[in-house]
A = this chain, B = another copy of it.
């Protein structure tokens, strides 16, 4: 197992040291984490603007060389599944695989993000060593990038994504499905949320906020079949709220006979544990998919676990429907006893 970061206060420390510093006063930290040291990864500005001292491999190397450094380490670590949980960064899909190749070859740091470089490196490893899965739980478009899907298909690997569906968005998805099934016409949806962890701090920077807004908003049209007016975006950062974010939602809809019903939701949701639970599932499901010979991406997994669950062209669906489909997919693979 390997762990990568670019925060100077973490690189070269053991995960045990890092965890004790962050949550040692609240949770027990297992001693086995003393055997795991944080390695230096790729930065490409993913922490710029945030209060961390960050240094990536690309400060010493070209991107090509940095990728080679990673590949050498992975040949020893022998990973099956990569999980990308870096802070929300601003990135755009390449769509054309040649544009992606060209950006890497030309060391074009202005259009490449850390997530894309990691995903590219994992694809190379998949080609040269053995098929792997790359799970992307942040908004950077990877499973939503035709170029990445093609790259993984060609190297027999799998890319899953994008943006892990935790917190209020999957709840909103299921609520909208609930209303749609009763022929309620949604007048509008408001979803505010505010937290005090690093991800909310990052989202207070406008470009990063935009990334999140895009993955969150797609559910409305996909599930309802029409684009009900909505305001769904990360709303603010307030340090003492900590990791247990505050979510406020309001939906107004027309019921039978054009009368109006109203729903108001207030919630406090622990952000990191919600994601951690998904990661355990995703690592297992990614391995199941690899073992069963899947390539490119797997919509059945993405549809339940991701906010923007695609190969491009596919749709957001309600999470309860997605779960039912996922169970059927596993049943057909005889994989439910996994």
A residues at B contact (CB < 8 Å): 27, 170-171, 174-175, 177-178, 181-183, 187-188, 190, 192, 194, 229-231, 235-241, 244, 246, 248, 250, 252, 255-257, 259-270, 273-274, 276-277, 280, 304, 318-321, 323-324
Known contacts A250-B248, A267-B262, A320-B318: does B277 contact A241 (CB below 8 Å)? no
Known contacts A263-B265, A264-B265, A324-B321: does B230 contact A257 (CB below 8 Å)? no
Q: Could you tell me the distance between the alpha carbons of A188 and B240 in the complex, rounded to whole angstroms? A: 7
- A239 neighbours in B (Cβ, 8 Å): 229
Quick check: A273 and B256 within 8 Å, CB to CB? yes
Min CB gap A197→B, angstroms: 13
| 22 A-B pairs whose Cβ atoms sit less than 8 Å apart in the complex | A170-B178, A171-B178, A174-B178, A181-B319, A182-B274, A182-B277, A187-B240, A192-B192, A192-B248, A231-B236, A231-B237, A240-B252, A244-B261, A248-B248, A248-B266, A255-B269, A255-B273, A256-B273, A256-B280, A259-B270, A264-B264, A318-B320
- A321 neighbours in B (Cβ, 8 Å): 320, 324
Q: Could you tell me the distance between the alpha carbons of A307 and B82 in the complex, rounded to whole angstroms? A: 44
Q: Which residue of B lies closest to A167 (CB)?
A: B261
- A171 neighbours in B (Cβ, 8 Å): 178
Known contacts A235-B192, A277-B182: does B257 contact A263 (CB below 8 Å)? no
Q: Which residue of B lies closest to A26 (CB)?
A: B259
Q: Could you tell me the distance between the alpha carbons of A240 and B252 in the complex, rounded to whole angstroms? A: 10
Q: Could you tell me the distance between the alpha carbons of A199 and B244 in the complex, rounded to whole angstroms? A: 30
Q: Could you tell me the distance between the alpha carbons of A248 and B276 in the complex, rounded to whole angstroms? A: 28
Selected contact of A320 from candidates B178, B255, B257, CB within 8 Å:
B178
Selected contact of A256 from candidates B174, B230, B244, B274, CB within 8 Å:
B274
Q: Could you tell me the distance between the alpha carbons of A124 and B145 in the complex, rounded to whole angstroms? A: 64
Q: Which residue of B lies closest to A245 (CB)?
A: B261
Quick check: B267 and A255 within 8 Å, CB to CB? no
Quick check: B235 and A235 within 8 Å, CB to CB? yes
Min CB gap A25→B, angstroms: 14
Known contacts A250-B248, A266-B250, A324-B324: does B238 contact A229 (CB below 8 Å)? yes
Q: Could you tell me the distance between the alpha carbons of A324 and B255 in the complex, rounded to whole angstroms? A: 21
Known contacts A187-B240, A240-B229: does B256 contact A263 (CB below 8 Å)? no
Min CB gap A338→B, angstroms: 15
- A280 neighbours in B (Cβ, 8 Å): 256
Min CB gap A287→B, angstroms: 19
Min CB gap A95→B, angstroms: 31
- A269 neighbours in B (Cβ, 8 Å): 255, 261
